[in-house]
Structure 1
Amino acid sequence: MTTQSASKAAFTRHTLDFMADLVNNNHREWFHANRSRYDAAKAELCGVVERVLLEMSAFEPLANTAVKDCIFRINRDIRFSKDKAPYKSNLAFAIGPGGRHSGRIDYYVQIQPGNQSFLGAGMWQPTPANLAKFRQEVDYNVGELKDIIEADAFRAYFPEVSGEVMKTSPKGYAADHPEIDLLRRKELFFIHRYTDKEVLKPNFANELVRGCQLLKPYCDLLNYLFFEEKEEPITL
């Protein structure tokens, strides 16, 4: 990272004000008339992502990950939506090997005014096969998972748990299973929310990195369960 880009690795009120105005003027004519404001907001976003990538490269394999690969487009896909507003109400990026399309469990950040910004990661919309792997891990070896998500530092930083939960027990598991609460989860996504004041702090990118460090053991465990090739046991 150059000294110039490092000095811009922070958000200003300009970005939050632009996003707030966009919510109230979500149409193409207004957006194109205010394109320079969006470009400035995106430049700030790129600076923050660059700083996060740089700092996270100390503990994540991100050497070939470019800033542009991490940032989500602000345009909404409205082809199958009743809501025809053309733009999102947030700026967002995902950090993982290769960026937002890593195909693995990564770190997701959303910047949205009104104290709605957050960092989150975890199991979200898993395939049936991956959900089965998660439940098998909970059934046979829940200790490692609980050591991570029940640690004091983790719970203090990520008090909010998001995701769909079954009302009944999943097939093959008894209702009185000691880990039934985890087994009923179809998604397990942890969130830390930031106030607008926190987002505007000069060290916000470093705060995101701190949150990602806390999330890393959980992401690593899920990536191992879902994507690593397991050695088949040798039978004699």
Structure 2
Amino acid sequence: MTDPRLLAHAALEQSSVVANNAMNRERGLSGVNSYTRDLGFDPFALLSSRLPAAVSWVDVCCGSGRALLEAEARFAAELPDADVTLLGIDLVGYFQSSPRTSRLRLRTASAHDWHPAHPAHPADLVTCVHGLHYIGDKLALLTTMAGWLTPGGTLAAHFDPGSIRHRDGSSAARHVLAEFRGAGVEYDSRRHLVTARGPAAPRFPATYLGADDTAGPGYTGQPAVTSHYDW
């Protein structure tokens, strides 16, 4: 890496911008400050609509896991016989509580390194709610998450195209959005939300160089990470 600002994954995950225990702490499943509000759909309703087949939800950068814990409680109360798997991954692992049933697993892991234990069993829903702001190789993670989807499954991830930069720091947003269009991936600029339906396979002709944790606030107003690539 030629630019000293650009951090590799291990150094980035030690940054106070990334390894914080405040991100996604209070966001629940539904209500004013919730996944339903931020995503524009109710994850519980989406999963319920795919029953009675087995359904699964993977939430990357799940924070405290509050939304998953509330989904676990709703399934236990309303659909106790449903075959549901809920999985949350978070770098910090500062979870609100432990799972109450075997339906839910909460894992402390790097989003860069984690992979499903059973890749032959893909997910009906994959979410990353305001988590990509803190990821280094955002494009690789988007590609990976899309690859976890079942046919007809849903990927929903908040994303800022302006956080993708060329080596010299200039915006690469135009390249990213063009690749989205070519892969059938949708981007809602009002919600800052990437959505895709499985099977989806976005591919980006770019080489990751590293991330800058000194870029300042993103569209949320909180400090965020810019990701730099050669295209």
Normalising by structure 2, report the TM-score: 0.24
Larger Rg: 1
- Using structure 1 for the length normalisation, give the TM-score: 0.24
